[in-house]
Structure 1
Amino acid sequence: MSRREQIVMTTEEVGAFLLAERVATVASMGPNGRPHLAPLWYVPEGTTLRTWTYGSSQKVANLRRLPQATVLVEAGDSYEELRGVSMECDVEVVEDGERVAAIGSELTHRYTGSEEVAVAASQFVRVQAVKRVGLVFTPTKVVSWDHRKLGGGY
């Protein structure tokens, strides 16, 4: 078995990893043909990620032009601890205000850890939803690695 095969995460491990981590780096294609990178908070559902952002942002302009992105979620402070998931995704730009607000509420709950705070922030989320769009990243290809599976050996 190759080293590459040894470090691949199972589907369950990928899901657990995406649930445990908090920041995804999203690469869309900029108007000049170069990648445009942006960090985003997200809500995972398996390998599908949902988030929101300002509708006037560069990443949204890029995704309207070409609704594809590469998304990277990574962790680890040393080589033997490196783990991550890279996904090539089709992207849905969500315009419906109710869906955008729902994504904002999910994000608020996930990142505050409190249903009570999410409910209290619901008016703020609704006001923000008017300026924002939702983004749904659906993977077409998933690549993962977990160097911890090598037990410190290379």
Structure 2
Amino acid sequence: MAVTQRRGRKIMMTPDELDEFLGSQRTCRVATVSATGAPHVSTLWFVWDGTSLWLYSITRSKRWSDLRRDPRVAVVVDTGEEYGELRGAELSGTVEFVGEVPRTGEEFPELAPVERLFAGKNFGIDEMPHDGRHAWMRLTPDAIASWDFRKLAGL
């Protein structure tokens, strides 16, 4: 007997669609939990390397202090204006802090490809500018939920 898929599974992105989507978007919303337990959501640029979402955050932000205390995070990347155009993904897991804090440009081989990708995507340049105020976090998601409402037309 075949199992009927839930509607949500029918509109989820394939791995290739998800990879293309995350690679083409630039803004995400990062949800953290404050020391008092209150949720906090902030907007941030990101880069996707095919496996992990890389976040370049100001180290004196509430987001940074929340994640230093509790590295669990949920991130939403979405787009679309009309209902039938909505697409997005929610990635959740635990962030890892990578490189120097704050980042001043010290050689760190793991960050070289990420910084080239981020600089090209967000600034249109080949080399990452470092201002001594930001640092890197990597989210290799434990869970991903995605949706593409454009697929509803075919259901």
TM, length-normalised to structure 2: 0.82
The unaligned stretches of length 5 or more in structure 1 are none
- Aligned AA for 1:78? E
**Alignment partner of 1:68 out of 67, 72, 80:** 72
CA distance in 2, matches of 1:109, 1:150: 34
Q: Are 1:84 and 2:88 an aligned pair?
A: yes
CA distance in 2, matches of 1:30, 1:4: 31
The unaligned stretches of length 5 or more in structure 2 are none
Deviation at 1:152, TM superposition (A): 7.1
CA-based RMSD? 2.1
The aligned length equals: 144
Q: Could you tell me which residue of structure 1 aligns to residue 17 of structure 2?
A: 13
Q: What does residue range 20-59 of structure 1 map to in structure 2 within 5 Å?
A: 20-59=24-63
Q: Could you tell me which residue of structure 1 aligns to residue 153 of structure 2?
A: 151
Q: Is the 8 A contact 1:51 1:104 kept in 2?
A: no
> In proportion to residue count, which structure has more helix?
1
CA distance in 1, matches of 2:32, 2:24: 24
Displacement over 3 Å in runs of 4+:
97-106
Deviation at 1:104, TM superposition (A): 4.8
Deviation at 1:132, TM superposition (A): 2.0
Q: Could you tell me the percent identity over the aligned residues?
A: 33
